[in-house]
Structure 1
Amino acid sequence: MYRIFIIEDDKKMESLMKDRIEKYEYQAITVKDYSNIKSEFLKADPHLVLMDINLPNFDGFFWCREIRAISKVPIIFVSARFSDMEQVMAIEHGGDDYIIKPFSFDLLIAKIKGVLRRTYGEYAQKQSKEVTEVNGLYLYIKQNIVEWKDKKVELSKKEFALLYSLINNLNEIVPREKLLEDLWDDVEFVDDNTLSVNVTRLRKRLEDIGIYNAIETKRGQGYKMIKTWE
């Protein structure tokens, strides 16, 4: 079942869109916190976004850019703004299509079907997950970048592999043997000293973006990552 993420602050319109979308057996997901749409987007992991422009805090153009920084998911703008310039801005900010309010719900469904078919149909290129988010900490998997509160730092391949392994086992001790396997590649030999060095470097890199004491050493066992960021 395709998941449609509706970013619309008019609750009557949101309800009408949700009801119509669900009649066509799509899963409709709505926004709860308009100040943290990026995080809600990641939790929803949708196949398509319906985006209003007039939103609380930040407008739809802002959130479109935020989503485009982490995902290629299709975005259809649905707005009462009807000027050519607004539609041009929507496309330039990363939108895939534009629907002007008021609109026919048959048109909305047709647009949704068309975009889903082009993006996920038989001949569409399959996409792997590009980002992981844990309590506001973002890991950009294809770029080896970690972000916290708009501060980003690029990690080495081994540092990122180490962080990825630890954060996927948050609050659990990860044995040294498991981490050595995660850091192993066919080019460079990895031993206990290499692991220790990379842990030290990773701690420093996390401190650079304001995260302290997140990686604990468990003597004779391994390492544990705990959530020290708020």
Structure 2
Amino acid sequence: MFTIMIIDDNEQLQNEIGNLLITNGYSILKPKDFNQIPQIVKENNPDLILLDINLPNDDGFKICTEIRSFSKVPIIFITSRNTNIDELMAITLGGDDFITKPYNTQILLARINALIKRAYPNDTNMDIVEYNNLKLNILSSTIEHNGNSEELTKNELKILYYLLINKGKIVSRVDIMEYLWDSSMFVNDNTLTVNIARIRNKLEEIGLKDFIKTKRGQGYII
């Protein structure tokens, strides 16, 4: 599963694009701190970036230039600024595509899909995540280990996937619930506890005990 970062200070639009991408099989990141965008990109390593030009502090052109100093991640500018000069600057500074608002959602998806395929032509396992002998199959919603497998519910799949893409990091319960909320899945604290317990039981069933560790007062880590 590819991860797309949506850098736009219009929260409603950010949510709309995010829901569209999740529905079409992508994972999303929605940064809120526009002072630290390059650092957030470094820390999260997204597979593609949707970048607005008009942002609260540095504009999209400057951010694109900074990102290009350390990364070749595909960048699509999505903006209401539609002059030829804006488009020329976007491409000259390292953008890979330029789409003006309002946009057709199917055209946006087609541009994203095409750019992903060009940028990652050898990534044939986009629907499988593997770590420490665990294989998470996103399409079939299953986990596998040493020939054993278990099915996951939609919430269990999302939670385990989020922990896996943040492997080596402590992920707070709040972070997980916000991630599920962005995926249009509404989970409260008690429901999250139940889901984590069920995931652990299923991991143990296939031979992976203590795969998800609890950091008391902080969250979970794989």
Q: TM-score, normalised by structure 2?
A: 0.54
Q: Look up the SS of the partner of 1:122 in the other structure.
A: coil
Match of 2:71 in 1: 71
Residue correspondence of structure 1 range 180-219 to structure 2 within 5 A: none
Once residues 8 and 107 of structure 1 are traced to their aligned partners in structure 2, the CA distance between those partners, rounded to angstroms, is: 19
The answer as to 2:108 corresponding to 1:108 is yes
Match of 1:3 in 2: 3
Q: Compared with structure 1, are the counterparts of its residues 123 and 25 closer, same or farther at alpha carbon in structure 2 (3 Å cutoff)? A: closer
> Runs (4+) of structure 1 moved beyond 4 Å?
none
Across the aligned residues of Structure 1 and Structure 2, the Cα RMSD in angstroms comes to 1.4
**Number of aligned pairs?**
124
Higher relative contact order (CA 8 A, sep 6+): 2
Q: Kindly name which structure, 1 or 2, has the bigger radius of gyration based on alpha carbons.
A: 1
Q: CA deviation at 1:122?
A: 3.1
The one-letter code sitting in structure 2 at the alignment partner of 1:24 is N
Q: Compared with structure 1, are the counterparts of its residues 123 and 37 closer, same or farther at alpha carbon in structure 2 (3 Å cutoff)? A: closer
Once residues 45 and 76 of structure 1 are traced to their aligned partners in structure 2, the CA distance between those partners, rounded to angstroms, is: 16
Once residues 115 and 94 of structure 1 are traced to their aligned partners in structure 2, the CA distance between those partners, rounded to angstroms, is: 14
Q: Percent identity?
A: 39
Q: CA deviation at 1:25?
A: 1.1
Once residues 32 and 93 of structure 2 are traced to their aligned partners in structure 1, the CA distance between those partners, rounded to angstroms, is: 23
Residue correspondence of structure 1 range 57-206 to structure 2 within 5 A: 57-122=57-122
Q: Look up the SS of the partner of 2:19 in the other structure.
A: helix
Match of 2:47 in 1: 47
The one-letter code sitting in structure 2 at the alignment partner of 1:9 is D
The one-letter code sitting in structure 2 at the alignment partner of 1:41 is V
The answer as to 2:15 corresponding to 1:15 is yes
The one-letter code sitting in structure 1 at the alignment partner of 2:100 is I
**Structure 2: gaps of 5 or more residues:** 125-222
**Structure 1: gaps of 5 or more residues:** 125-230
Once residues 41 and 122 of structure 2 are traced to their aligned partners in structure 1, the CA distance between those partners, rounded to angstroms, is: 25
Q: CA deviation at 1:39?
A: 1.0
Match of 2:139 in 1: none
